[in-house]
Amino acid sequence: MKKRLLITLLSFATFALNAQGIKFCKGNWATIKAKAKAENKYIFVDAYTTWCGPCKWLSKDIFPQKKVGDFFNKHYVSYKFDMEKGEGVKFAQKYQVNLYPTMLYFTPEGELVHKTVGACAAETLIKRASNGLDAEKQFYVLKRRFKQGERNSQFLKNYIEVLGDAKENLSEPMGIYFAQIDKKDWASNENWAFIKKYERSALSNIFSYVFTNRAKFAEANGSNKVNGYILQVLVRGVKEVVNANNQDQLDAFVKKLQAFFGSDAQRRIARTKHLFYARNQPKSFQYTYDYFDNYCNDVHELNRIASDYCEKFEEQLYLEKALGWVEKSIKLDKRSFNTYTQAQLLYKLKRYKRAKKAAKESIRLAQKEGKSFKNTRKLLNEIKRVM
């Protein structure tokens, strides 16, 4: 009886919470547009997928909040749209939805004017949705004005903010905006806060200026904040440099790593060069060997490169190299995944007795870890067959 009462109370609480949040309308897209036009309301679309974790968090913890519901229900006809089912597929193609969650905002006439990407707190969601009602802060409106040549500082600031909310590239307007400000004022509290929030590119001139003048920025804004910002940009910058595939940019980035990271610089430089030259043989071997032989102590990273070599190569030289890396991984932390890679490599090297032992150890560890060992069992059977 008590259990039933508890379930009833919980169900009622959930219903009450949902009732005070955003009221999402049912029906197809045409129905939603007709309703918005009839009520002269903007349209809010939560473009989601069923596998998107942040989408689920928004639906569970943010959309049901009263203050969120009060704002959206007053100003918007709201609609949840699965981008991988029914007419959602064509909708995603038409409006170029490829990151989740994406929030789209339409006029009562059905014109797309605003976009934001990513989950956020209730206050931020309301602020972003307020921008969707303001022609001075609507993403697509400002994007059009920028293309038409508008460049005043307040406009650029608004444009950068909405670009950031939409996870779009903002390097061009950032460069134009700060070109209008005397560099001696870049370290001011206001300008520093703007740089810290929106300049995330390790390859930009703005970041290079901050890096070169980091003592000045630290004096004005605190060394912990400035160094923390530089650390974040440099760590993220590795992928950016690799994707850019530009030797001059790599060289400049390496100099920053050398200057900033002290005793850890050589490891970071070696890893960056390994990734940068990965598609450039024979340089890829040179820098891969340097990083994994001399610097890498990451269990998973060592296993990944060993597994990669096992799949790509048949030559004994490369397989032996990979075996050394995976055994280094095992010494750091023996797990089912790296002992499986070890068994694969030993099998390819025709060292069947050791391969059998490694496969059995991988199965034992997988059972202990609660992991599947189907592939390892298959490998073990193959090893037994050829012995």
Which sequence spans correspond to the domains of the chain?
A: 19-133, 182-276, 297-387
Tokens of residue 103, six digits: 């929030």
Q: Taking the mean position of all CA atoms in its chain, how far away is CA 145?
A: 29
pLDDT means over runs of 10, the chain (387 residues): 44 50 97 97 98 98 98 98 96 97 98 98 98 97 98 97 96 97 97 97 97 98 98 98 97 98 97 94 91 98 98 97 98 98 98 98 98 97 95
* pLDDT confidence of residue 14: 44
| CATH level 3 topology of 19-133 | Glutaredoxin (3.40.30)
Out of 3.60.130.10, 2.40.160.10, 1.25.40.10, 1.10.10.10, select the CATH number for domain 297-387: 1.25.40.10
Interatomic CA distance for residues 62 and 74, integer angstroms = 17
> Residue 53 has which token pair?
């974790």
Q: How much is the pLDDT for 279?
A: 84
The C-alpha angle 306, 307, 311, rounded to 5 degrees, equals: 120
Q: Are 184 and 159 in contact (CB under 8 A)?
A: no
Token pair belonging to 36: 């918005």
Strand 112-117 versus strand 76-82 pairing type: unpaired
φ/ψ of residue 25, rounded to 5 = -85, 150
